[in-house]
Amino acid sequence: MNLAAEHLTLAHGPRTVVRDVSFTIASGEMVAIVGPNGSGKSTLLRGLARLHPPAAGRVLLDGRDIRQLNTRQVARVLAILPQAPSAGLDLTVRELAFRGRYPHQGLLQRITRRDIEAVEWALAATDAAQLADRQLGSLSGGERQRAWIAMALAQEPRVLLLDEPTSFLDVAHQVEVMHLLRRLNARGITVVAVLHDLHLAARFTGRVIALSGGNLAFDGPPAEVLQPAALEAVFGVPMVTLPDPDTGLPIPLPRPDPALCPAATPARAPTPPAAG
């Protein structure tokens, strides 16, 4: 299921936040949206999900203007996970996952066997089955993020949009979430994630879209677009890229003023063992 922006402009009141952006995300892609704070990344994601009405242009979901589809039609194929989702911390993980079944339930909202199967699949897919009966308030940050992704998956979406899913997580949990998204993508789910960390975008996604001042700065495979000159133009700081030792892909890093960095300390020779 393709998701496309056609000359999309999004605004907050009189202030234009995203300006005349066009691209198409094909079914089965895994895409990162990057850019500095205030560049319009989260607003763009909300616009793609029909949560932020366009000032101009349109969003197409499988060739149809998303504004012509009703809320349930969209929610049955597209799920969005905001940066700071909120729900009662007294909910269990399973109760939260069942909330994702709303688009598929009838007027009486009775739980069906299909609902149960979808929730159990979502819990298993996110490795959250063992957390199912625990309350959200008792979970670590990484566990809670998996629970929220389980809720989104319970919708059975074909397109999954996530706003900074690794924010506030330590390194181990960041990798855990990105591995999960890769596994979901391998199952055919289109994944579009706003990412703060460029190294995660470089390592885990097949395409990077960058915004700068609300404009589309670059769009393409990491090996092509994550280059120092392009990154410096977007982020306004000198950049350097190092080859990933496993994949050879460029890993972007900021390049601070060397005069303000501590000098490398020479490695000490190992101390020989004391005699006798």
Asked if 171 and 150 sit in the same domain, the reply is no
CB 37 within 8 A of CB 196: no
**Predicted local confidence at residue 104, as pLDDT:** 77
157 DSSP 8-state letter = -
Asked if 44 and 164 sit in the same domain, the reply is yes
Collapsed DSSP state (helix, strand, coil) of residue 211? strand
**Predicted local confidence at residue 260, as pLDDT:** 83
Asked if 165 and 256 sit in the same domain, the reply is yes
Domain range holding 109?
87-156
| CA–CA separation, 41 and 196 (whole Å) | 10
b (16+ CB within 10 A) / e for 97-121: bbebbebbeeeeeeeeeebeebbeb
Domain count, the chain: 2
In a domain, 134, yes or no: yes
In a domain, 143, yes or no: yes
**Predicted local confidence at residue 224, as pLDDT:** 95
Low-confidence ranges of the chain (pLDDT < 50): none
In a domain, 20, yes or no: no
Asked if 163 and 242 sit in the same domain, the reply is yes
**Predicted local confidence at residue 268, as pLDDT:** 73
In a domain, 45, yes or no: yes
Residue 65: φ, ψ to 5°: -60, 125
Asked if 234 and 97 sit in the same domain, the reply is no
Asked if 93 and 179 sit in the same domain, the reply is no
Asked if 190 and 101 sit in the same domain, the reply is no
| CA–CA separation, 242 and 250 (whole Å) | 5
Other Cβ atoms less than 10 A from the Cβ of 82: the count is 17
Provide the phi-psi class of 188: left if phi over 0, else alpha when psi is between -120 and 50, else beta: left
Asked if 145 and 176 sit in the same domain, the reply is no
Asked if 173 and 200 sit in the same domain, the reply is yes
In a domain, 12, yes or no: no
In a domain, 56, yes or no: no
**Predicted local confidence at residue 223, as pLDDT:** 94
Asked if 146 and 188 sit in the same domain, the reply is no
In a domain, 15, yes or no: no
Asked if 183 and 149 sit in the same domain, the reply is no
Asked if 191 and 169 sit in the same domain, the reply is yes
**Predicted local confidence at residue 163, as pLDDT:** 95
Give tens-digit pLDDT for 195-231.
999 999 999 999 999 999 999 999 999 999 999 999 9
Which token pair is 241?
A: 């890229």
| CA–CA separation, 95 and 109 (whole Å) | 14
CATH number at residue 240: 3.40.50.300
In a domain, 59, yes or no: no
